[in-house]
Amino acid sequence: MSGPGAGTPRIRADREVCIGAGLCVMTAEDVFDQDDDGLVVLLEPDPPPAARERVRQAVRNCPSGALSLVEE
């Protein structure tokens, strides 16, 4: 039995949707990066608990909706 937020969510980043705004990198640079085209690169699909809050913030702030969390 596990309630919401009990596990560490995995991140999904859709590079087809990303517009390269870079907000996620500014919010959690240990988890997200951008390639030469400015598109998001996921450095850490399973973020450590310490990064969880910043990851949630990055997902909320992404202007294109390219980022999502998969609760397991």
Residues forming the site for ligand SF4 (CB under 6 A) = 13, 18-24, 34, 40, 62-64, 66-67
Cα–Cα distance measured from residue 17 to residue 40, given in angstroms and rounded to the nearest whole number: 10
Nearest CB to ligand SF4, comparing residues 6 and 23: 23
Of 1 and 56, the one with the shorter C-beta distance to ligand SF4 is 56
| For ligand SF4, the closer CB: 2 or 37 | 37
Could you tell me which residues come within 8 angstroms of residue 42 by beta carbon, excluding any fewer than 6 positions away? Answer: 11, 13, 31, 32
Q: Give bridge partners of residue 41 from the DSSP assignment.
A: 33
Nearest distance from C-beta of residue 7 to ligand SF4, angstroms: 22
